Amino acid sequence: MSQPCKIATFRTTRSVMKADKACKQAGLAARVIAVPPTISSECGMCLRIENTQLAEFIALMESVAIETKIYDYTFL
């Protein structure tokens, strides 16, 4: 069964860790994972975001000034 979600990539590992901490504090269900092979990222780590929390995630990243790029992704 496939699981569609959003993948947020970052330029640095520090940004991933900072974003993960901000998500935990805000109560968002983000998870640090390795970047899937079909997506390119400079640091090799990303956050998996549930589709239902995308708007909250984007607003949070803007409020803490973390640059991110969002991809649609489906885990098989």
Average predicted confidence (pLDDT) for the chain: 92
Residue-wise DSSP of 29-73: --EEEEPPTTS--SSSEEEEE-GGGHHHHHHHHHHTT---EEEEE
pLDDT in tens, 27-50: 999 999 999 988 877 788 999 999
Domain boundaries, the chain: 3-75
Q: Residue 2: helix, strand or coil by DSSP?
A: coil
pLDDT in tens, 12-23: 999 999 999 999
Which residue reads 């496939």 in tokens?
A: 2
Into which CATH architecture does domain 3-75 fall? 2-Layer Sandwich (3.30)
What is the pTM assigned to this prediction? Answer: 0.89
